[in-house]
């Protein structure tokens, strides 16, 4: 049988989808397959810290108790109750009706975008921000305005106020006040109060991405935006970093009218979060393991952060600058302006067997700000591996003659 002649028609993709490109992170995922690589690249939690045995027990329990665990079902009220309890740890008082369960924080972002952004509408992000958020909004083709952001103190709230005072009325403002990805920044309490007040005064929804909020290592955590402003701050949380990403379970805390609409949008998108995943996670949480588990995670990740900061001191050139995160999984390093970290990445992988993400992957507006920066993840490798990897990366950066050539 001969192959049919090609059709005379071109495949009619929707116009905007012809422009979409693979996420830079996904491309790097492939590069990282190289065996023996010490990777600071992806924002992965440490798999050896996953509560695998406890989760396996919960899965067995759920499947033995009731085959309906694999049936279609409505969202599970008991899982929402657990999220309410978790939110209290973030200083947030909310009800089960204000909690909406999603397939991870990425879906929360995508559904909030659908709900708030009309096609071509305006959104505000930080100049350096999580690239997955911009990906999630692409179907809406928004106009993206950015405000400066500092590697240590996060969003420049003055700049946001100037935009609003100048007449901009964005459909949403997106920010990561705690454990900023990729910067590692923490927005100070005073800035949070001003941001919450701006949201309310101008009637602009602020999306607080708090995926890393429960991974705080230092004392004196500032209040969440949601605890300061329950009406105009829409909160996103996730079990990916505190439990395991492979579950794909996250949540939104928002006023009930928002939750009701999100629920309708999600039904059209993919019906429900896996009933089995919801029941298993609920059974796991029923055992009240979180105090011990979170304490363990925080101690481990704090030690890894400290290992990375001391290794950077020891091995990186004097010209480099980096953030000192109090939370999250990332350190942001800025090299002298002449260094292009995308070029550096290839050398680091090939010559030193070390990887990171070039800063431009996280920069709206073409990535100018991030050309000489790198995001280093400190959660996935052990303290020993971190020392070894940063030492190797440091050797690629030394002596200064080599540095000038990249």
Nearest CA-CA partner of 47 in 303, 245, 197, 232: 245
Identify which of residues 62 and 397 has a Cβ nearer to a second copy in the complex.
62
Identify which of residues 148 and 269 has a Cβ nearer to a second copy in the complex.
269
* Distance (Å, whole) CA 180 – CA 324: 11
Longest CA span, the chain? 73
b/e map of 182-212 (b: 16 or more CB within 10 Å)? bbbbbbeeebbbbbbebbbebebbbbbbbbb
C-beta neighbour count of 267 within 10 angstroms: 10
Identify which of residues 76 and 403 has a Cβ nearer to a second copy in the complex.
76
Q: How far is the CB of 207 from a second copy (least distance, A)?
A: 13
* Distance (Å, whole) CA 209 – CA 124: 14
Q: How far is the CB of 254 from a second copy (least distance, A)?
A: 10
* Distance (Å, whole) CA 304 – CA 294: 15
* Distance (Å, whole) CA 164 – CA 162: 5
Identify which of residues 11 and 318 has a Cβ nearer to a second copy in the complex.
11
Q: How far is the CB of 395 from a second copy (least distance, A)?
A: 29
Q: How far is the CB of 20 from a second copy (least distance, A)?
A: 5
- Give the residues across from 60 on adjacent strands: none
Q: How far is the CB of 211 from a second copy (least distance, A)?
A: 12
Q: How far is the CB of 57 from a second copy (least distance, A)?
A: 10
Identify which of residues 249 and 311 has a Cβ nearer to a second copy in the complex.
249
* Distance (Å, whole) CA 344 – CA 329: 22
Helix axes 104-116, 256-270, angle to 10 degrees: 110
Helix, coil or strand: residue 170: coil
C-beta neighbour count of 352 within 10 angstroms: 18
Identify which of residues 270 and 286 has a Cβ nearer to a second copy in the complex.
270
Identify which of residues 15 and 318 has a Cβ nearer to a second copy in the complex.
15
Identify which of residues 9 and 337 has a Cβ nearer to a second copy in the complex.
9
Identify which of residues 276 and 310 has a Cβ nearer to a second copy in the complex.
276
* Distance (Å, whole) CA 248 – CA 6: 40
Q: What burial class does residue 74 get, using C-beta atoms within 10 Å of its C-beta: 0-12 exposed, 13-18 middle, 19+ buried?
A: exposed
Q: How far is the CB of 12 from a second copy (least distance, A)?
A: 6
Identify which of residues 4 and 167 has a Cβ nearer to a second copy in the complex.
4
Q: What burial class does residue 392 get, using C-beta atoms within 10 Å of its C-beta: 0-12 exposed, 13-18 middle, 19+ buried?
A: middle
Q: How far is the CB of 129 from a second copy (least distance, A)?
A: 14
Q: How far is the CB of 86 from a second copy (least distance, A)?
A: 18
Q: How far is the CB of 379 from a second copy (least distance, A)?
A: 12
* Distance (Å, whole) CA 228 – CA 41: 34
Nearest CA-CA partner of 217 in 320, 362, 330: 330
C-beta neighbour count of 246 within 10 angstroms: 11
Using CA atoms in the order 270, 274, 278, 281, what is the torsion angle rounded to 10 degrees? -120
């Amino acid at each position: 049988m001969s192959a049919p002649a090609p059709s005379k028609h071109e495949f009619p993709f929707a116009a905007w989808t012809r422009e979409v490109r693979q996420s830079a992170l996904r491309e790097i995922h492939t590069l990282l397959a190289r065996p023996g690589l010490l990777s600071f690249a992806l924002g992965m939690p440490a798999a050896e810290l996953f509560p695998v045995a406890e989760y396996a027990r919960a899965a067995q329990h759920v499947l033995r108790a009731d085959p309906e665990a694999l049936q279609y079902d409505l969202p599970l009220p008991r899982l929402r109750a657990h999220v309410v309890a978790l939110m209290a740890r973030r200083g947030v008082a909310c009800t089960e009706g204000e909690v909406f369960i999603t397939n991870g924080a990425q879906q929360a972002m995508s559904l909030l975008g659908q709900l708030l952004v009309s096609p071509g509408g305006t959104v505000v992000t930080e100049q350096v921000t999580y690239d997955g958020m911009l990906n999630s909004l692409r179907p809406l083709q928004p106009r993206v305005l950015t405000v400066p952001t500092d590697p240590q103190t996060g969003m420049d709230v003055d700049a946001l106020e100037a935009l609003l005072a100048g007449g901009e009325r964005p459909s949403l403002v997106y920010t990561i006040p705690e454990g900023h990805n990729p910067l590692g920044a923490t927005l100070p309490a005073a800035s949070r109060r001003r941001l919450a007040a701006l949201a309310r005064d101008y009637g602009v929804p602020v999306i607080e991405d708090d995926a890393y909020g429960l991974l705080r290592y230092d004392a004196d955590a500032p209040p969440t935006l949601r605890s300061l402003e329950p009406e105009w701050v829409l909160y996103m949380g996730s079990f990916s970093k505190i439990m395991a990403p492979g579950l794909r379970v996250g949540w939104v805390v928002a006023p009930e009218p928002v939750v009701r609409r999100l629920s309708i949008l999600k039904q059209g998108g993919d019906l429900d979060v896996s009933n089995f995943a919801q029941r298993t996670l609920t059974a796991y949480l029923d055992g009240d393991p979180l105090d011990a588990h979170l304490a363990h995670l925080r101690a481990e990740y704090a030690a890894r952060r400290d290992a990375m900061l001391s290794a950077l001191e020891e091995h990186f050139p004097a010209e480099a600058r980096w953030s000192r995160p109090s939370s999250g999984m990332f350190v942001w390093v800025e090299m002298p302006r002449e260094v292009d970290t995308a070029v550096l990445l290839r050398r680091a992988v090939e010559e030193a067997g070390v990887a990171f993400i070039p800063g431009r992957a996280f920069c709206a507006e073409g990535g100018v700000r991030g050309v000489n920066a790198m995001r280093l993840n400190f959660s996935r490798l052990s303290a020993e591996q971190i020392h070894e990897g940063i030492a190797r990366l440091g050797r690629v950066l030394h002596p200064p003659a080599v540095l000038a050539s990249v």
